[in-house]
Amino acid sequence: MKNQVSRYIEDFMAGIQSRNPAEPEFYQAVHEVVESLAPFIVENPVLMKNKILERMAEPERVIMFRVPWLDDRGEVQINRGFRVQMNSAIGPYKGGIRFHASVNLGILKFLAFEQVFKNSLTSLPMGGGKGGSDFNPKGKSDNEVMKFCQSFITELHRHIGPNLDVPAGDIGVGGREVAYMFGQYKRLRNEFTGTFTGKGLDFGGSPLRPEATGFGTVYFAQEMLKTRNDSFKGKTVAISGSGNVAQYAAQKVIELGGTVVTFSDSNGSIYDPKGITTEKLEYVMMLKNAIRGRIKEYAEKYPEAEYWEGSRPWKAKCDIALPCATQNELNGDDAQVLVENGCYCVAEGANMPSTPEAIKVFHDRKILYGPGKAANAGGVAVSGLEMSQNSMRLQWTPEEVDAKLHSIMINIHETCVKNGTDASGYVNYVNGANISGFHKVANAMLAQGLV
Ligand code: NAP
């Protein structure tokens, strides 16, 4: 049996690598899932025969296109746009749009693949997709960002729709970008429908969508802590990133009585041993969202904080770590430093921030470790709730949405515990999330035949 499982994993990964050259992030995401599911799949001839996982690792459709636009100097700029429509077995494709210089097809395939499992975990009827561009919004004027978004949607509009594919935000895409894309979509299609989520509150957005991923990550961590009769109260928390997810994760941690001591961006980290208070967090929100500044400026404003140029925040002593920036931002060495400094709970606000070596350290040391596809599912869950509100032409209150978000995160945690607890009683949330997310999609694919 053990041999059969290892052979299945080896053959599966050899197939993935030969069909998808030079896509390391995609291999990493697929490998993690295959490792969790292989023991179950080799025991289920129906899944083997119908090649369910093989089909799940092949996008239903990939759209790749030229995005030409004029910058403020009147110069022509050309970027590349993508939409990966990974799986629509349980609902319309759903997943964010990322604008970052590093975006390529392999990164979007990893994100779209993870999204399929995550969306299934929320228990809402959403398939998985992801899109984006190598456009770098940093340093661009509002006018340039608008022109880029309009050109991007001029092509993408024909491939998306409220019952087909519903994009949202991700790195580099927040309320401003979603609004520009929605406006252009509406103009080209001559319709007002909920084709984007993360819209402004005045035009169909859901209360709490901006907060949802960060809040949801903390709710998930709270559930993990409860399994050890523990809570955020009095705990020191290290957070990476300083964008949407990081900011609202910090807000919820502070609300629950924890002390946040770090933030970061792609240039470095700040460490504030006195703690980032609500007032300091408001400054970070203004700095990052309104004036689009760098986290370094925090240490200039608050001299009690240190700025660690070019360094990640993981050397800060903490009880709980919430990686909320980007993929592979926490490696094996970082994980070792974290656990040696006493960290015993890691919940991922970002997608795949921990490398396989880091995850091994967490599992070997049996600390609480919540992978992104479970821990950060609150964002897409509230996007699903935004779709429901749009279809019903009504808007719930923030309290109603928060209650639904909270209960979805509690449910996801429960399913992970159910499917991820090993013989020793340790909860392997990676297995729990992969197995739980897989079932519903696999059943739907089996029922729908060879499509
Ligand atoms: P965001 O608002 O654009 O913020 C991203 C943050 O991460 C920024 O502080 C950014 O720093 C930092 N960052 C980006 N690339 C980096 C790199 N290569 N190295 C170090 N730092 C980097 O994006 P976000 O929406 O918070 O997304 C953060 C993570 O959460 C991503 O993994 C995303 O896929 C995941 N996620 C987001 C949502 C959502 O609802 N937004 C939902 C689920 C998962 P700079 O300013 O220097 O770029």
Closest residue by CA, ligand 1 atom 3:
171
Residue 81 has pLDDT above 80, yes or no: yes
With beta carbons less than 8 A apart as the criterion, state whether 368 and 345 touch. Answer: yes
130 is catalytic: yes
**Ligand 1 atom closest to the CA of 326, numbered from 1:** 32
**Ligand 1 atom closest to the CA of 267, numbered from 1:** 47
Rounded to an integer, what distance in angstroms lies between the CA atom of residue 350 and that of residue 313? 15
Closest residue by CA, ligand 1 atom 35:
350
Rounded to an integer, what distance in angstroms lies between the CA atom of residue 255 and that of residue 250? 9
Rounded to an integer, what distance in angstroms lies between the CA atom of residue 160 and that of residue 213? 23
pLDDT of residue 133: 99
Closest residue by CA, ligand 1 atom 41:
170
| Both structure tokens of 244 | 């949407």
Rounded to an integer, what distance in angstroms lies between the CA atom of residue 207 and that of residue 24? 37
Closest residue by CA, ligand 1 atom 5:
243
115 is in an annotated binding site: yes
How distant is the alpha carbon of residue 416 from its chain centre? 17
With beta carbons less than 8 A apart as the criterion, state whether 5 and 19 touch. Answer: no
Closest CA to 121 of 447, 380, 445: 380
49 is in an annotated binding site: no
- How many Å lie between the centroid of ligand 1 and the Cα of residue 328? 12
- Over range 213-223, report the average pLDDT: 98
> Does residue 266's CB lie within 6 angstroms of at least one atom of ligand 1?
yes
- Over range 383-399, report the average pLDDT: 98
301 is in an annotated binding site: no
- How many Å lie between the centroid of ligand 1 and the Cα of residue 331? 17
74 is in an annotated binding site: no
128-133 vs 262-265, strand pairing mode: unpaired
Q: How many CB atoms lie within 10 A of CB 229?
A: 6
User: What pLDDT digit, counting tens, does each position of 344-357 carry?
Assistant: 999 999 999 999 99
Please report, to the nearest 10 degrees, the dihedral formed by the alpha carbons of residues 270, 274, 279, 283 taken in order.
-10
**Ligand 1 atom closest to the CA of 100, numbered from 1:** 15
Q: How many CB atoms lie within 10 A of CB 76?
A: 8
Mean pLDDT (the chain, rounded): 98
Rounded to an integer, what distance in angstroms lies between the CA atom of residue 451 and that of residue 448? 7
4 is in an annotated binding site: no
pLDDT of residue 333: 98
pLDDT of residue 443: 98
CATH numbers and ranges of domains, the chain:
2-56 (no CATH), 61-192 (3.40.50.10860), 212-375 (3.40.50.720)
pLDDT band at residue 4 using 50, 70 and 90 as cut-offs: very high
User: What pLDDT digit, counting tens, does each position of 286-333 carry?
Assistant: 999 999 999 999 999 999 999 999 999 999 999 999 999 999 999 999
Residue 39 backbone phi and psi in degrees, to 5: -60, -35
Quick one: what percent of the chain has pLDDT higher than 90?
Answer: 99
Closest residue by CA, ligand 1 atom 36:
350
Consecutive H or E run containing 368: strand 368-370
Q: What angle do CA 194, 200, 206 make, to 5 degrees?
A: 65
> Does residue 348's CB lie within 6 angstroms of at least one atom of ligand 1?
no
From the list 49, 51, 109, 130, the catalytic residue is: 130
Sheet holding 345-347, edge to edge: 259-260, 236-239, 320-322, 345-347, 368-370
Helix, coil or strand: residue 448:
coil
| Both structure tokens of 421 | 């607890």
- How many Å lie between the centroid of ligand 1 and the Cα of residue 38? 31
pLDDT band at residue 17 using 50, 70 and 90 as cut-offs: very high
Amino acid at 15: G
- How many Å lie between the centroid of ligand 1 and the Cα of residue 285? 14
| Both structure tokens of 411 | 């449910």
pLDDT of residue 2: 75
